[in-house]
Amino acid sequence: MRNNLSQTPLQAEILLCFIFFTIIFAGVLWVMQIVLPERIYRSNTIRELQQLADNLSSIYENGDVLEFKEALEFVSRDSYVCISVYKSNGRYVYSCDVMNYHCLLHGAHSMVREFSNELRKSSTGEICMTVYDQELQMDTVVIGKVLGSGDEVSGYLFMNAILKQSGTNTRAQKQLIIIASLILLIIGSIISFIVSRMLSVPIARITESAKRMAKGDYNTKFEGGSCLEVDELATALTYAEHEISKADMMQRDLIANVSHDLRTPLTMLKAYAEMIRDLSGDNPVKREAHLKIIIDETDRLAALVNDILDLSKLENGSQKLETQQIDVSAWLSDIIQRYKGVSEQMGYHISFTPDESCMVECDAAKMERVVCNLINNAINYTGEDKQVFVSQINTEDAVRIEVRDTGQGIEPDKIKKIFDKYYRSENHKREVVGTGLGLSIVKAILKLHNFSFGVHSKLGEGSVFWFELRKS
C-alpha cells in the first residue's frame, strides 16, 4: 500500500502537470524565438563578413586602387561595417567608418594594435573575434585578414560589425514571451482547477459509497460524473456491489442450507440409534429396519459432505483436468449399461440413442460425473412412465448429449436458479435423495472444460438437459 503522505490529490496533480507544461512551453518559445534566431543571425553575419573579406582581398591583389576603394565603400555602406586597411609596415592606407568613430577600428577606442598582434600570431592569416564594445554596449565581430599573395605580406584588412539582429526588438520579444506564459499559466490554472474538480468530486463521492458498501450497505448508489471513465467506474462498482451482495446472500443461504441439511440426517441418526438402544435392540426385524435408516442417512450425509468438498475444489481451481481421447458412443453406452441393473430393478427404463462413433478430448472421469448427475436427476424427476432418454447428436464441430425425462418440467422462473448452489425446488419430494449441489457440480465441470450447456423444459411435458463436447 502506498504511503498517504507521498500521495498527491488529483487536483494538485493536474495543476502541477499544467504548470510543468507551461514552463516547457515557455522554454520552447524562448529557444525558438530568442536563442536560436540570435545564434543563426550571428553565425550568418560572421560567415558573410568572412566572404566579403575574401572578396576585398582578391580585389586588393589585382592592384586596381580605384576599384578597391570603391569596393571598400560599397561593402562598408551596404553591410554597415567599419573597415581599415594597413600596409605591411603598419602604415594606415584606407578606411571606411560608418559608425562615426564608435567602432573598434577608429577613434579613441581603436583596438587595431591588439588585432594586428593577433593577426600576426595567426598561422592561417585570418582572425575572427567576438568583442564586446563597451561604448556601444553590444557584441561586435572583428574580422582580420592578411593581404598579399603567397608568403609575401602586402597589408592587413580589418572589418568590425555589430552582432545585433536588425529590425528586431528582442527585449520586447522576451517581455511578450513572459506575458504570454503568465496569461497561459493563469488561464490554464483556472481550467485545470475546473477540470480536476469535475474529476475529483465524483471520485470522492464514489469512494464514500465504496466505504459504505464495505461496511455491508449494499443499497449504496454509485453515481458517475461527466467523464466516461468515471461513469464506467461507477457502473463497474454497481455491478461489483450487486455481485458481492449476491455472494453474501448466497453465503448466508449456504450456511442455513448446510446446517439444515446436516441437522436433518444427524437428528435421524441420533433418534434411530436411541430407538435401537431403548426399544428395538431385541427385536431383529425392527432393529434391521432402523439400522437401514441409519445407514441410508449416513450415506446421505457422506454424499452431501463429498459434494460440498468436490464443488469447492472445482470452484477454487485446485482440481485440474486430466484429459484423454474418448469415443463418445462407447463411453456413453458403458455408463448407461451400468445403470441398467439398478434402474430396471426399480422399474425405470433408460434408452440410449447413439450417433456415429466420434472422438472427443475431455476429462472422462469428471464428464462421467456430469452424465451421472443428469441421469440421476432425470430418474428422480421423470414422470409416471419412468422413462429417461439419452441421445448423442453429432454436429459439425461438437457432440451434443441430451438427457430427457417426462416429468413435471421446471417453471420458467426457476430454470435460471437450478444451476445455483443449494437450490432445490420447494416441492421436491423427500424421497428424492439430493443435496442441491448436483447441477452446481455439473456446471463447474462443464465450465472447466469450456463446454456449452443448458436446459429446455416445458411444464407437464418434461425437461431436456444438454451439453456439447467440442470435437478435437
Give the residues lining the site for ligand ADP (CB under 6 A).
377-378, 381, 405, 407, 410, 418, 423-425, 428, 434-440, 463
| Least distance CB 313 / ligand ADP (angstroms) | 17
DSSP-derived secondary structure letter, 280: G
Exposed, middle or buried: residue 1 (CB in 10 Å: 0-12, 13-18, 19+)? exposed
What is d(CA 134, CA 95) in angstroms, rounded to the nearest whole number? 22
Nearer to ligand ADP, 146 or 308 (CB): 308
What is d(CA 106, CA 101) in angstroms, rounded to the nearest whole number? 5
| Least distance CB 393 / ligand ADP (angstroms) | 19
- Helix locations, 279-327, DSSP H: 284-315
Nearer to ligand ADP, 94 or 423 (CB): 423
Nearer to ligand ADP, 144 or 462 (CB): 462
| Least distance CB 213 / ligand ADP (angstroms) | 31
Give the residue nearest to ligand ADP (CB): 434
| Least distance CB 401 / ligand ADP (angstroms) | 14
In one-letter notation, the amino acid at residue 169 is: N
What is d(CA 334, CA 345) in angstroms, rounded to the nearest whole number? 18
What is d(CA 162, CA 41) in angstroms, rounded to the nearest whole number? 11
| Least distance CB 351 / ligand ADP (angstroms) | 16
| Least distance CB 273 / ligand ADP (angstroms) | 25
| Least distance CB 296 / ligand ADP (angstroms) | 15
| Least distance CB 202 / ligand ADP (angstroms) | 43
In one-letter notation, the amino acid at residue 89 is: N
Nearer to ligand ADP, 224 or 436 (CB): 436
What does the buried/exposed string (b/e) look like for 295-318 if buried means 16 or more CB atoms within 10 Å of the residue's CB?
eebeebbebbeebbebbeebbeee
Nearer to ligand ADP, 176 or 432 (CB): 432
> 3-class DSSP state for residue 466?
strand
Is residue 472 within 8 A of residue 360, CB to CB? The reply is yes
Find the helix or strand (DSSP H, E) in which 195 lies. helix 170-214
Phi and psi torsions of 227, nearest 5°:
-105, 140
Q: Which residues pair with 83 in a beta bridge?
A: 96, 159
Nearer to ligand ADP, 14 or 441 (CB): 441
Nearer to ligand ADP, 290 or 300 (CB): 300
The closest of 15, 11, 32, 34 to 185, measured between CA atoms, is 15
Nearer to ligand ADP, 25 or 466 (CB): 466
